[in-house]
Structure formats: C-alpha cells, structure tokens
C-alpha cells in the first residue's frame, strides 16, 4: 500500500549498506506487482543485499538481509520461465559472453556473442534436452536445461 519505490542496497560486510539502485513502486494495488533489479557490478566476495521500501508519505521499512556467495568465476545463465525455458539471460558481466546451445549429440542449435545480461529468445528451439556453454573472461561453464 502507498508504495513509492524500493531502494536496492548492497554491503560487503552485512553492516554498512550502500544504495545501488532504485525501482519505482506501484502505489497501492490489490493485484500485486512484480519488480526486478540486476546488480551488474556484483562484488567478488560474499555480498549482502537488502531492500529499503519507501511509501508515498516517506515512511520506510527494510527487508531481511539476503546473502549471495561469491562466484567461482564461472559464468552462469538464468532460464525463464522455469520450467519452460523460453528465454535465457546471459550472466551480467562487463565482458562479452560467448554462448552455444547444443544437443546431447553435440549439434549446435544456437551460438554467438552478446553483451552480459542479454536475454536470448529460445522459443524457436525445439523441445528437448540441451546444454548451454558459456565462455567469458577466460572462464567456461556448461549448464544443462530442458526446453519444454
């Protein structure tokens, strides 16, 4: 109710938080709302996040703190919706990401290079089991996914 905006905050120690983004609120709604924010400059150590929710009258509240472990350096993509997988979001990296989607027999069905955070549309990829190979900044990762 009366939601003006969310401020996304990040911390390296879980104590001192810094605002890294702002997402406009939907005011008052009875149907709910969906919000998203991506941290494109995540830390290389354990990272702590919280939300500061601010109402139209200036009242504020803080979420619980969420932790995200440091990455192993391997690029990791996200699949949406899951299950279903009609799109793949490449990892948010400042470097270009080389990607390849291939079948269990090794046949490439989609490949290219794109900026970190790019969303790939895989709706034209036939249903089945696939592998997604990602290469960025000298690191490689292969993820398995099912396209329904």
Per-residue pLDDT tens digits for 70-108: 656 677 777 766 666 788 888 888 788 999 999 988 999
Distance CA 128, CA 148 (A): 7
Q: Is there a single domain that holds both residue 62 and residue 84?
A: no
Domain that holds residue 111: 78-147
The enclosing domain of 117 has a CATH number of 2.60.40.10
Confidence label for 139 from pLDDT (cuts 50, 70 and 90): confident
The residues, ordered by sequence, that sit 6+ positions from 53 with a Cβ below 8 Å of its Cβ are: 3, 5, 6, 7, 25, 60, 61, 62, 63
Q: Is there a single domain that holds both residue 10 and residue 58?
A: yes
> What are the CA-CA distances from residue 131 to residues 114, 115, 117, 137 (Å)?
18, 20, 19, 20
Q: Is there a single domain that holds both residue 17 and residue 59?
A: yes
The answer to whether the beta carbons of residues 94 and 83 sit under 8 Å apart is: no
**Domains contained in the chain, number:** 2
Assigned token pair, 107: 């046949």
Q: Is there a single domain that holds both residue 61 and residue 87?
A: no
Burial environment of residue 136 by CB neighbours within 10 A (0 to 12, 13 to 18, 19 or more): buried
Q: Is there a single domain that holds both residue 103 and residue 128?
A: yes
Residue 69 has pLDDT above 90, yes or no: no
Q: Structure pTM?
A: 0.52
Residue 135 lies in a domain: yes
State which of 14, 46, 68 marks the end of a domain: 68
Strand partners, 108: 102
Distance CA 132, CA 144 (A): 6
Q: Is there a single domain that holds both residue 89 and residue 116?
A: yes
């Amino acid at each position: 109710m009366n939601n003006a905006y969310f401020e996304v905050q990040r911390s390296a120690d879980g104590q001192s938080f810094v605002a890294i983004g702002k997402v406009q609120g939907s005011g008052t709604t009875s149907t709910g709302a969906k919000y998203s924010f991506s941290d494109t400059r995540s830390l290389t150590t354990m990272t702590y996040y919280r939300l500061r929710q601010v109402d139209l009258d200036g009242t504020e509240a803080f979420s619980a703190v969420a932790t995200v472990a440091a990455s192993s350096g391997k690029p990791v993509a996200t699949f949406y919706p899951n299950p279903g997988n009609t799109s793949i979001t490449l990892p948010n990296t400042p470097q270009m990401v080389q990607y390849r989607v291939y079948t269990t027999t090794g046949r490439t069905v989609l490949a290219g290079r794109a900026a970190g955070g790019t969303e790939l549309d895989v709706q034209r990829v036939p249903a089945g089991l696939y592998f997604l190979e990602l290469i960025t900044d000298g690191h490689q990762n292969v993820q398995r996914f099912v396209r329904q």
